[in-house]
Chain A
Amino acid sequence: MSFFEVKDVKKTFGTNDVLLGIDLSVDKGDVIAVLGPSGSGKTTFLRCINFLEKATGGTMTFDGETFDLAHIKKKEIAKIRKKTGFVFQSYNLFLNKTALQNVMLGLTSGRKMKKEEAKKIAEEMLEKVGLKERMNYYPGQLSGGQQQRVAIARALATSPEIIYFDEPTSALDPELIGEVLSVMKQLASEGMTMLVVTHEINFARNVANKIVFMDGGHVLEAGPSKEFFENPKNARTKEFLNNITTQHET
């Protein structure tokens, strides 16, 4: 039984129908890669299921409770958000806070945890992403890859049941992508449940256990990773995979 499930998620911006009914179910420990051409609605989907954008329709079941996405209450949003983490493409660290403070804030301010306790957890998380020595640096003093690792530590600190990643490596210089992916790989191996929008096809192939392929606001294909790469069924999926392989060869 899936602990997290969304059904028929729809989003319209003005007259632009961006999501036309997305279904997804997630089991504990799943690493799901969401693939698809740009403009297909991947970011919008993640934003809708973490309420940064109000969905036009759809339902969410989280830990046995079902919510109507279009009419969900503020209190319910706050409750669900405390069980989720979000990693943005552009890191979005708090610029006036050190790495350590960035990781602590969700605990001290968001969850009223005692400072010493929060500090201990934050240091542990920064250690996990390999940045303990940089804990007193401000975001402006860190490289993009380091900032994104702090952002991952920040998402981890609140012990979420699932972390959403929106193209976590797309804003990074090529030489910095590896350090972030290896942190994510480590999380996956520790059993963290992750929903990852990405263009890193190798991550999707080697780390994810399920793939969701989106195009034009629909899920065109979804299934186990191995099957998706070895035996894609949809014509658009095949084309997409072909394009990626040719890009990698050239």
Chain B
Amino acid sequence: MTERILGILQEAFTRILAASIQVTLPLTIIGFTLAMVIAMIMALVQYAKVPVLTQIARLYIWIFRGTPLLVQLFLAYFGLPKLGIVMDAFPCAVMVFALNEGAYCSETMRSALESVSEGQIEAGYCAGMNYLQIMWHVVLPQAFRTAFPPLSNSLISMLKDTSLAATITVADMFMAAQRVVGRTYEPLWVYIEVALVYLFFSTLLTILQRAGEKRLGFFTSKEVNTKKEVRA
């Protein structure tokens, strides 16, 4: 590796890192948080079988899971202005990622809610609890435990998928790399470099996921934790 390439990589690293802090991470965090809110609402509406809203949720999920993310991005950024709806690239990307991810995650959450056995809900009623009390103390904690690993996987996927936002002019990590490549004609090394930065962030998230699963896994483990405080 020549000194020239090392110089390019060093400069590119600063730009990639800046783009990650200014764009990729905010896009991921805001987009995913909104996706969780959307997913939670869509999942609960279906779980509680609320009429009309359930059908709306199904329609939304059907559309956003059935069409490519890239097409959704293009449609929102280049297509909607034809209807007079103009958005900046970043908020547009946040919206598309939130809606797309929300559709997938709502299915994860719905199946997690449904995986809590009917018998426990009946036992809750028999113990004198009402629907909301049962949801809060029994169903939601267990569903959260079940949904946590797949939702973490979704978050990691989304972090990587944000690179698609570069196609609608969002100046993310990948666009920062592309620009350096455009100037220097060093696609091999610079793209390896940006790949490694993505790898770093997804590894970090994987480690967090492991730690989270361990914390949440207490009630499914066979091991007895005698130190655990009692919180009823």
Binding site for B on A (CB under 8 A): 50-52, 78, 81-82, 84-86, 88, 90, 92-98, 100-101, 104-106, 108-111, 115, 118-119, 136-138, 140-141, 151, 154-155, 158
Query: For B231, what are the chain A residues with a Cβ–Cβ distance below 8 Å?
Result: 101
A105 touches B218 (CB 8 A): no
Q: Is B214 in contact with chain A by the CB < 8 A criterion?
A: no
B232 touches A81 (CB 8 A): no
Query: For A85, what are the chain B residues with a Cβ–Cβ distance below 8 Å?
Result: 126
| A140 and B222 contact, Cβ closer than 8 Å, known pairs A92-B122, A95-B120, A95-B142 | yes
A92 touches B123 (CB 8 A): yes
| A98 and B128 contact, Cβ closer than 8 Å, known pairs A86-B123, A92-B120, A141-B224 | no
- CA–CA, A108 and B124, complex, Å: 12
A78 touches B122 (CB 8 A): no
A88 touches B232 (CB 8 A): no
B137 touches A109 (CB 8 A): yes
B230 touches A96 (CB 8 A): no
Q: Is B226 in contact with chain A by the CB < 8 A criterion?
A: yes
Q: List 26 A-B contacts (CB under 8 A).
A: A78-B128, A78-B130, A85-B126, A86-B122, A86-B123, A86-B126, A88-B123, A90-B119, A92-B117, A92-B120, A95-B142, A97-B232, A98-B228, A106-B127, A106-B129, A109-B129, A109-B137, A109-B232, A110-B127, A136-B224, A136-B225, A136-B230, A137-B224, A138-B219, A141-B223, A158-B128
Query: For A109, what are the chain B residues with a Cβ–Cβ distance below 8 Å?
Result: 129, 133, 137, 232
- CA–CA, A78 and B126, complex, Å: 9
Q: Which one of A78, A105, A106 has the greatest number of beta carbons of chain B within 10 Å?
A: A105
- CA–CA, A219 and B204, complex, Å: 65
- CA–CA, A140 and B145, complex, Å: 15
Q: Is B78 in contact with chain A by the CB < 8 A criterion?
A: no
The 9 closest A-B pairs by CB, nearest first: A106-B127, A110-B128, A92-B119, A86-B126, A92-B123, A104-B232, A101-B232, A110-B129, A138-B219
Closest to A106 in B: B127
A106 touches B128 (CB 8 A): yes
